[in-house]
Every structure is written in C-alpha cells, then in structure tokens.
Amino acid sequence: MTESIDWAEIVGNVGGNQYGDRICTLQAEGIDTTSIEAAVEQTLKNLDDKNSRSLVVFGEPQSGKTEMMIALNARLLDRGYPILVNLLTDSVDLLEQSLSRFRGSGLNPSPKQFSELPTDHTRLRGRKWVVFCKKNARDLEKLIEYLRHEDGIIVIDDEADYASPDGNVNKADYDKTKINLLISKLLGDDGRYVGVTATPARLNLNNTFQNESENWVDFAPYPDYVGQDFFFPSDGHVNYRLHTFEADEGSERTEIEKAVLHFMCGVAELHRLGLKKNFTMLVHTSGKRSEHDQDVGFVQATMDTLANPKGAGFERLRRKLFKIAKDYSELDGSDVGEFVLRRIEQNVVVKINSSPGKSGKVSDIAKPTSLFSFGVGGNIISRGVTFDNLLSMYFTRSVKGKFSQDTYIQRARMFGSRKDYKNKFQLWIPESLIENWSKCFAFHKLALEALRSGAGVPVWLADHKTTPTSAASIDKSSVDFEGGEMSFALFEYNEERYSTLFDRAGRSDQVVLKDLRKAFGDQQLPDHVFKYLLHEIKPGNTQISFHRASGFGTASKNYTDEEKQNIRRTKGIFATNEYKRSERPHARHHLKVFHNGEGKARIFYKINGGAIKFIQNRK
C-alpha cells in the first residue's frame, strides 16, 4: 500500500487553506476578522494583480497588526511563496513576543529565527520557510548569506518606519544607511517588500524601497478598538481620567507618588465592579537610564512605605491614600483604601530597558502577573510592545525641539483593547505635552483621512512645534514644502459669482467653507487644505477671514506680463496689509481671490501667525 504513495506530496503539505483555517479559528474565539481579511486580500491583490514590488500596510497603534501579519503569512504560504522573511525592531523582547504568537498560531512551517536555518543552502530548496530576523546589521548580514542562492523572497517589515528608511538620503556622497542597504540586498532584483506600521509618513517622504503610496493598504481597526478618537477627541471633551499638571511646577517624586496611589485605587474600583484582573501602570519620563533608576526608586518607595505600618512615613501616606480613595468609592473611601492596604504586597516593579542582544524584561510586565504591576523606563515602550490590562500611564517625556509625529504617535501605549475599562483609564501628563501630543495625532489623522478617501498622494502637516518625521529622512529631491502664502490652480473668474461666495452674509466659518468646497474643484481648493481648515474651526469662534476679491497687476507696472498671467510672483502677492482690509483682520486663517483682469484668478491662503506647512512627495 505505502509503495504507491507519493510521499513528496505529503511531507510538509497541510493543504492550501491555512489562511481560511486561521480566519475560522479567530472567528471561533469571537474575534472580528473583517479588517484582517480586507487588508490581507488587498495586499495580495496589489502584489499580484498590480505587480507592486513595494507597498505599505498602515493602521492605528496597537490595532491588531500582529494578528493581521500572521494571516498575511498564511495567505502568502497558500499562494505558494516559498520564503517569507519577517523583520522586527532590534529588540530581543519584541522578537520573542512576536515569534511566540506566530508559533502559537499553528503556521506550517513553524516560524524560525534566522539562526535556526540550515547553513547548507541546498537544504533550503524545495521547502517553505517563515523566517524571523531583528533589524540589526549583524543578523541581516548572516541572513543574507543564508539566503544568497534563493530568489522571490517576500519581506514583511514590522514597524517599517523604524531603521529601514535611508537616513542618508540627502547626503551628497549618498551612502545608504546600513539597515536600508542590507534590506535592499535581501530583496535583490525580484524580492517583494511589505512594510507594516502605524506611522507611514517617513516611508512616504523618504521613498523607502521606492514604495508606491497609490498601492498602500489601509488596515482599519477592529470594532472595539480604543484609540485616537477616544483619548484625543477633536472637541476636547475627554471621557476618562485625565490628570494634567504644569511641567515646571512641583516635584516628579510627588507627582509619581500621587499617580501610584490613584492607580491602586483604580484597581480596587475595578475589582469592586467585577473586573478582577491584574493591572499595569507605565511610568515613562525620560530616555536616560539613570533617570529610570530614579523613577523606579520613587515607585518602590511608595509601595514600601505603605507596606510598613510601623514606618515613619506610613500614616502620612495612608491618609493621602484614603483621601484619594473617596474618588473611587460610593462610600467614604475606606473600602477602597483597605482593599489596597490588604493587597499592598501583591506588587512588582520592573525596569524596562532595551540593550543590544539582551532582554528588556518586557515579558515580565506585558501580561501583568501581580495585582499592582509597574513598568518603568525605557525606549522600547515606544515601539510595538502591547501591554495587557494597562490602566494608568504617567508620561512626561518631552523634547527640546520639534515633536516628531511618528515618534509620539507610537508612544500611545494606552491605545488598543481597553473597552472594558476605558472610562477608568488614567493618563498623567503635563498640559503643554498633551497639547502637542494631540496636535501630532490631529495632523496625522488629517493626512491619513485624505489617503483613505482616495485623494491620492498623502499630504503631511507640520508647524513650528511638530513635524511628520525626522528632517534627515525626508527626500528633499522629490518632496515639496508648501507654507506661508499658498496659492492654487487658475480658474475662470466670474466677479458676481465669487463676490457672493466670499461674502459672509451672516454665515458661519463652516458654512462658507463648505459652500466654497462645492464651488471649487480639488485643484482650485485642495481637499487637504479644506479638511485642515475644518479641523481648525472651533464652535462659536470666527477663525477664518473671507476677503473680497482684488485685482493683481491691474493698476501697477511693477509686475511682468508672465507674473500677471500666472497671478504669481516669487516674493508673494498676499501682503501683510491685506489683513487690515479684511472682514476679520485678526483671524488666524485668510482666504482671498486675486484676479488678473483678463478672466483668470487664483485662491490664496495665508496664515496670520505661526505657519503651517503641507508636505507632499511628488515622485
């Protein structure tokens, strides 16, 4: 009987429906797979039907991208791609966390670290491989050596905007940065690249691996996802426990102590409400390890003092605890305070750091093992780590210069699966920091909304305090920076029509703006400008001045014929004194039509004050 069996058809072959099986497994666990299926199928369509060699899958922070990547690997294996290389940030913790989840999914073949591959390249042929590798030079060089005889490799790059872009893109000698160069070598002439990230601006503005934004794939969050709209609502009305303070007032130790007491009271409250789980608090104040030690000391001192009723500081801290407990109890707070004191020894304080080749102890805190679990530190918090049951975040890490939107968006570790207790979440943050953090998200959202609407090439926003990504990573040979005075496409000028459109006549900013949107196409009034202005409008305030139209060059001989025809000049047209002539001289945003007296006109937009820049890759 066995002599007639073709064992080559059996060995390693579990059939061609791993993807379908994985989707069924997730659905059986009660997980909504709609977004996963949409993203995976669109990625395959863009790789196969559109023959795209480089694209990006973008989503929200902590929105389930790892599960989507598992499904994508399964789909690619079903499609017959033999070698899938999954790249991760240079962190032992993230490698272990991701590898464990991938292996637990039952993928066939079982995922392997690059070091587990056979050194004899002939043993790679004819078999499928799912490979994991950290983005560091040593590991990538070894991986390239292992796979030097293979072709058709698919690279799936998690946290793709980290390390992968070319940081030397604008340097005259143009030596590519090491990781970018090595990934290029790994891809070879026929490899395919799929970047996965929540912050794709850097990949777009850097032209990383010549990715094509028109083939980007939107990975929408799952229905119960808690993210930007909840934590940074556009109307400013928060529905969770937001504690703000002045960064230069008081002491860090006092603020951390207060936050620790509130966190433990919050845990007690949730237990009283029936959510009997272990919970985590993160403390992130600095990138300096010496300061992490200090913060660990602050947290540990609070716990030790409350654990020693005979100690000198116990009564002071107990009274403070019971006072805070009143905010978490329907009684006088003594029930909450007593809950905390009875369980005060059920705590763990973990310093989280990331060192090359060493664990940052993320696994000790990502899934809290003690009732009161504290994670303190480190830069690894900002990239890819998911913290289950995160209830409180004390976050004071700021910057001296501009806020890089991609960095701060990645630091929103409170996003994710928080539906059961989202209204009880605690965020401790300086007032100035949350204002800039909110702006980072608002600008980021505007850019992605335009992309999702099918508007084409994304337009990223920057101002004097925030920038989409590091300036060194922006390819200045193909990226335009529009700021200060902006003007848009020429159109046929009809004085009667446009005088009526720009006459406020009792209308609100929003109504006038929407009427202009209906009257002008995207070339004459770009959608990204329109959406930005809508975002800026606050109810009850007039923030836009709609000017009467003016002629340009119609009464002066100081302009060239070309300037008159184009209604543009190098020095600009919208002079400062135009503000005084407007209906609202002190408004922040000004819109005005200039015409040339020959039937042509343009809309001009200018900001009164700190300028906004619109950044777009024209390549």
What confidence tens digit (pLDDT) does each residue in 260-295 have? 999 999 999 999 999 999 999 999 887 677 778 889
The reply to whether 199 and 234 lie within a common domain is no
User: What's the whole-number mean pLDDT along residues 467-492?
Assistant: 85
Residue 536: CB atoms within 10 Å = 16
Q: Rounded to the nearest 10 degrees, how much is the dihedral formed by the CA atoms of 433, 434, 438, 444?
A: 40
CA distance 28 to 333: 42
The reply to whether 293 and 394 lie within a common domain is yes
- Determine contact, residues 572/519, Cβ cutoff 8 Å: no
425, 440, 455 — which closes off a domain? 440
CA distance 297 to 438: 30
Token pair belonging to 603: 């809309």
Q: Which pLDDT score, from 0 to 100, does residue 249 have?
A: 64
Distance of CA 529 to the CA centre of its chain: 22
Confidence of residue 190 (pLDDT cuts 50, 70, 90): very high
- Determine contact, residues 30/224, Cβ cutoff 8 Å: no
Confidence of residue 384 (pLDDT cuts 50, 70, 90): low
Between residues 289 and 488, the one the model is more confident about: 488
What is the CATH classification number for the domain harbouring 210?
A: 3.40.50.300
| Structural domain contains residue 155 | yes
The reply to whether 207 and 117 lie within a common domain is yes
Helical residues (DSSP H) of 15-91, grouped into ranges: 18-28, 34-48, 65-79
User: What's the whole-number mean pLDDT along residues 497-506?
Assistant: 91
- CB burial of 99-128 (b: ≥16 within 10 Å; e: otherwise) equals beebeebebeeebeebeebeeeeeebeeeb
Q: Which pLDDT score, from 0 to 100, does residue 560 have?
A: 85
What is the CATH classification number for the domain harbouring 337?
A: 3.40.50
The pair phi, psi for residue 544, each rounded to 5°, is -120, 135
CA distance 164 to 157: 8
Q: Which pLDDT score, from 0 to 100, does residue 359 have?
A: 53
- Determine contact, residues 279/270, Cβ cutoff 8 Å: yes
Nearest to 51 by CA among 197, 217, 215: 215
Q: Which pLDDT score, from 0 to 100, does residue 383 have?
A: 66
Q: Which pLDDT score, from 0 to 100, does residue 539 have?
A: 73
The reply to whether 180 and 39 lie within a common domain is yes
Nearest to 346 by CA among 323, 366, 330, 369: 369
Residue 319: CB atoms within 10 Å = 11
- Rg of the chain's alpha carbons, rounded to an integer? 28
- Determine contact, residues 379/354, Cβ cutoff 8 Å: yes
Nearest to 49 by CA among 211, 218, 215: 215
Distance of CA 91 to the CA centre of its chain: 19
CA distance 295 to 513: 49
CA distance 524 to 517: 9
| Structural domain contains residue 463 | no
Is 358's pLDDT higher than 80? Answer: no
| Structural domain contains residue 10 | no
Count Cα atoms within 13 angstroms, Cβ side, for 312.
1
The length of the chain is 619
The reply to whether 181 and 251 lie within a common domain is no
| Structural domain contains residue 7 | no
Confidence of residue 125 (pLDDT cuts 50, 70, 90): confident
Between residues 187 and 456, the one the model is more confident about: 187
Q: How would you classify the pairing of strands 491-492 and 83-88?
A: unpaired
- Determine contact, residues 123/162, Cβ cutoff 8 Å: no
Strands (E), 262-367: 279-284, 347-352
- Determine contact, residues 160/203, Cβ cutoff 8 Å: yes
The reply to whether 75 and 212 lie within a common domain is yes
The reply to whether 356 and 320 lie within a common domain is yes
The pair phi, psi for residue 546, each rounded to 5°, is -100, 110
Residues 6+ apart with CB under 8 A from 171: none
Token pair belonging to 372: 């009161």
Q: Which pLDDT score, from 0 to 100, does residue 210 have?
A: 94
| Structural domain contains residue 9 | no
Q: Which pLDDT score, from 0 to 100, does residue 456 have?
A: 64
Among 198-207, 351-360, 413-422, 476-485, where is mean pLDDT lowest? 351-360
Q: Which pLDDT score, from 0 to 100, does residue 612 have?
A: 76
Is 2's pLDDT higher than 70? Answer: no
Q: Which pLDDT score, from 0 to 100, does residue 93 have?
A: 78
Is 447's pLDDT higher than 60? Answer: yes
| Structural domain contains residue 58 | yes
Q: Which pLDDT score, from 0 to 100, does residue 483 have?
A: 65
Among 34-48, 108-122, 131-145, 321-335, where is mean pLDDT lowest? 108-122
Between residues 570 and 119, the one the model is more confident about: 119
Count Cα atoms within 13 angstroms, Cβ side, for 341.
19
Domain carrying residue 339:
226-440
Confidence of residue 448 (pLDDT cuts 50, 70, 90): confident
Cα of first residue to Cα of last residue in the chain, in angstroms, is 62
User: What's the whole-number mean pLDDT along residues 467-479?
Assistant: 90
The reply to whether 288 and 152 lie within a common domain is no
pTM equals 0.86
The reply to whether 387 and 502 lie within a common domain is no
Q: Which pLDDT score, from 0 to 100, does residue 455 have?
A: 59
The reply to whether 370 and 513 lie within a common domain is no
Instruction: State what percent of residues in the chain have pLDDT above 70.
Output: 94
Enclosing H/E stretch for 508: none
Confidence of residue 355 (pLDDT cuts 50, 70, 90): low
The reply to whether 263 and 393 lie within a common domain is yes
Between residues 235 and 311, the one the model is more confident about: 311
CA distance 531 to 550: 25
The reply to whether 211 and 231 lie within a common domain is no
Is 519's pLDDT higher than 70? Answer: yes
| Structural domain contains residue 470 | no
Q: How would you classify the pairing of strands 600-607 and 491-492?
A: antiparallel
User: What's the whole-number mean pLDDT along residues 385-414?
Assistant: 88
Q: Which pLDDT score, from 0 to 100, does residue 357 have?
A: 53
CA distance 280 to 422: 14
- Determine contact, residues 147/153, Cβ cutoff 8 Å: yes
Whose tokens are 């499904």? That residue is: 71
223, 242, 270 — which closes off a domain? 223
Residue 430 bridge partners (DSSP) = 245
Q: Which pLDDT score, from 0 to 100, does residue 401 have?
A: 77
Q: Which pLDDT score, from 0 to 100, does residue 356 have?
A: 53
User: What's the whole-number mean pLDDT along residues 301-329?
Assistant: 97
Strands of the sheet with 192-197, listed across from one edge = 112-113, 129-134, 83-88, 154-158, 192-197, 54-58, 217-218
Average pLDDT, the chain: 89
Confidence of residue 379 (pLDDT cuts 50, 70, 90): low
Among 74-83, 363-372, 373-382, 516-525, where is mean pLDDT lowest? 373-382
Enclosing H/E stretch for 57: strand 54-58
Whose tokens are 């936050």? That residue is: 259
Confidence of residue 517 (pLDDT cuts 50, 70, 90): very high
- Determine contact, residues 444/405, Cβ cutoff 8 Å: yes
Token pair belonging to 82: 């033999």
| Structural domain contains residue 465 | no
Q: Which pLDDT score, from 0 to 100, does residue 484 have?
A: 65
Whose tokens are 């009164």? That residue is: 608
User: What's the whole-number mean pLDDT along residues 118-127?
Assistant: 83
pLDDT digits (tens, 9 = 90+) for 556-584: 677 888 888 898 876 778 887 888 888 89
Q: Which pLDDT score, from 0 to 100, does residue 6 have?
A: 77
Specify the number of domains making up the chain.
3
Instruction: State what percent of residues in the chain have pLDDT above 90.
Output: 56
223, 257, 285 — which closes off a domain? 223
Strands (E), 346-422: 347-352, 372-377, 390-395, 403-404
- CB burial of 605-615 (b: ≥16 within 10 Å; e: otherwise) equals bbbbeeebbbb
**To 5 degrees, how large is the angle CA 18–CA 24–CA 28?**
145
Q: Which pLDDT score, from 0 to 100, does residue 364 have?
A: 75
